[in-house]
């Protein structure tokens, strides 16, 4: 598990710059299977059935609520695609990577 999962998101109301390409590349190394898609940090998760997919969605919602940082979710029967971007700054922040690591940690339980 990445040390990112141990961090807490910081409030972001704008006024700060998005991460640079080098910063993004460095933080991506601490995640498994995440990539950049249309400027968002993105990953698709596959499950055995709808019940498992919805359990993951609900756990992701719980993490998002606790961190006050919310992803875009695309949900289908056996898959959920998660996308993070910090809208307030129009790019990626460390918060996106923290939440991604916390979501990955769900599957390590």
CATH assignment at residue 66:
3.30.1360.20
Examine residue 48 and state whether it is found in any structural domain, yes or no.
yes
Strand order in the sheet with 72-76: 35-37, 40-46, 79-84, 72-76
pTM: 0.93
Domain that holds residue 78: 37-109
Examine residue 10 and state whether it is found in any structural domain, yes or no.
no
Examine residue 15 and state whether it is found in any structural domain, yes or no.
no
Query: What average pLDDT does the segment 86-103 reach?
Result: 96
What confidence tens digit (pLDDT) does each residue in 1-49 have? 459 999 999 988 778 899 999 999 999 999 999 999 999 999 999 999 9
Number of structural domains in the chain: 1
Q: How confident is the model at residue 109 (pLDDT cuts 50, 70, 90)?
A: low
Examine residue 9 and state whether it is found in any structural domain, yes or no.
no
Q: Which of 37, 13, 27 is nearest to 89 (CA)?
A: 13
């Amino acid at each position: 598990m990445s040390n990112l999962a141990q961090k807490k998101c910081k409030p972001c109301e704008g006024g700060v710059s998005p991460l640079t390409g080098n910063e993004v590349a460095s933080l991506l190394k601490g995640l498994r299977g995440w990539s950049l898609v249309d400027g968002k940090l993105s990953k698709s998760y596959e499950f055995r059935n709808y019940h498992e997919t919805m359990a993951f969605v609900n756990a992701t919602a719980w993490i998002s609520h606790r961190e006050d940082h919310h992803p875009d979710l695309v949900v289908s029967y056996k898959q959920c695609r998660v996308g993070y971007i910090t809208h307030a700054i129009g790019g990626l922040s460390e918060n996106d990577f923290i939440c991604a690591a916390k979501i990955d940690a769900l599957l390590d339980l």
